[in-house]
Structures are given as C-alpha cells and as structure tokens.
Amino acid sequence: MQMNYVFDIDGTLTPARSPIEPEFKNFFLKWRKGKNVYLISGSDYEKSVEQVGKDVLEAVNACFNTAGNICYKKGTVIYRNDWNAPTDLVTMLEDFLKTSKFPIRAGRHLEHRIGMLNFSIVGRDCTRKQRKDYNMFDLKVKERKKFCKIIMETFPDIEATVGGQISIDIYALGMNKAQIIKHINGPIYFFGDKTKKGENDYAIARKLTSPPNKVFTVKNWQDTQNILKNL
C-alpha cells in the first residue's frame, strides 16, 4: 500500500508563525509529486493559506485545520465538527487572564475556531516582541502546562494542549490531531515539531509509533527538508 505523508505546518514546514521559505516551497512542491501528502494544523485554513500559499494547499491530497476539526480538499470543505466551549470554561479562562503574572494583555485572548478554542494570556494581537517575551516567561514558569492541567482536571470531557509559542488549544475530548488518522488509508509517516506529551502533535504522534508508521520529530523546516532528501 502506498505511504501517506502527513505534515504539521507551523514549525515543521515553516518558521514559527511565518511564511514558508520560497526555496523549500519549490523543493516541497516537486517532492510531493506522485505521493499521498496531507497537512495538519491547529490554525484555521486562512492562516495556512498565509503560511504556505494556495498552491501548496491545492497540491496536497487534503489539508486538515483546527486540529482536524475541518478538512479541505482543493479549497472545498469535506467535513467539519462544530463545538461550543462551555460557559464555565470561558469563565475559567477569564480568571486566568486576571491572575496571570505576565504583565501584557494585547487583545484577542479567546479565539473560537471550528471545533476548538484557542486561548492566550498575551493575546493573539501581540507584537513579535511580546510573543517572544511571553514565550520566555512561559518557558520559565510553565504557565500554559499548569492551565492545561487545571482545565482537564475540572472538565474531564475536554482536552487542552500547549499550542505554539503563546497559546493553548482546547477541544472536546479526542477531537485532537489524532482524529485525522481515520480519514487516511494505509501507513503514515508523520512529521511534527511538537510531539512531546502535553504538546499539540503528541496525540497523533503517539498513535503512529509502530511500523509501518513512523514519527519524525523535527526541530524546524530545515530538518524536515533534510529528512525528505534522504528518505
């Protein structure tokens, strides 16, 4: 059976929160010819368009967004799973916003996406410098991990994982990136940069550790490119 290649986008095919490097994009578009290739992201489709471009998204078999809660084939929605975050959860997140010791609130702290909620103390409207500062703060105090633990202890039917640099991703139990496996026929090679426990590629990575499946944990897109060149 033909191998399926599944790639996380942010930090795996692109630099964090930035567009794909043009040289790597050309390489990737040539490399994927004749292969089954899928993309998966915690972000929405519009963000993926900004990061890798419509040409890449339409050249792959499918793109799964918002942790696999919506799927696009050549720009057309194939399925979507809607979910409304409970009011008690939103109240808890608002409390986190009041109590976090990080001093900046830049705006857009709760982002409701298809099938999930993204939450950030510094806020999605932050500058690059504020994003970096929050990330440094969180590396020290592990605030996001603590939030995830509290959320999951309080709401047993909800899952929360550390997102990228500043946020956490929250969804109904099981509605994480691993859900896309059932939509793909045959073995999977998965590439992701956040495959550790508590990170947002972990749920899918832990299901693909046995042959013929394989997980490639990468440091950045350069790492991904080197692996693809030597496959």
Residues that bind ligand M1P (CB under 6 A): 10, 17, 41-43, 118, 163-167, 169, 200
Give whichever of 3 and 16 is closer to ligand M1P, judged by the CB atom.
16
Q: Which is nearer to ligand M1P, 6 or 210 (CB)?
A: 6
Planar angle of CA 112, 116, 117, nearest 5 degrees: 45
User: Least separation, in Å, of the C-beta of 124 and ligand M1P?
Assistant: 6
Burial 145-174 (b: 16+ CB within 10 A, else e): bebbeebbeebeebbbbbbbbbbbbbbbee
Look up residue 108 and give its DSSP letter.
-
Which residues are within 8 A (CB) of 18 and not within 5 positions of it... i.e. 6 or more apart?
Answer: 51
Smallest gap from Cβ 162 to ligand M1P, in A, equals 8
**Alpha carbon distances (Å) from 155 to 89, 98, 160:** 8, 20, 10
Q: To the nearest 10°, the Cα dihedral for 165, 72, 220, 229?
A: 180
The catalytically annotated residue of 10, 169, 193, 201 is: 10
Question: What order do you get walking across the sheet with 76-80 strand by strand?
Answer: 76-80, 70-73, 62-65, 36-40, 4-8, 188-192, 214-217
- Give me the least distance between CB of 164 and ligand M1P, in Å please: 2
* 79, amino acid identity: Y
**Residue of 8, 138, 193, 201 with catalytic role:** 8
**Cβ proximity to ligand M1P, 25 vs 144, nearer residue:** 144
Q: Which is nearer to ligand M1P, 30 or 42 (CB)?
A: 42
- Work out the end-to-end distance of the chain between its first and last CA atoms, rounded to an integer number of angstroms: 17
Tell me, yes or no, if 8 is annotated catalytic: yes
10 in catalytic set: yes
Q: C-beta of 10: minimal distance to ligand M1P in Å? A: 3
Given the complex with ligand M1P, which of 108 and 185 has the nearer CB atom?
108
Minimal distance, residue 2 CB to ligand M1P, in Å: 27
Give catalytic residues, as residue numbers: 8, 10
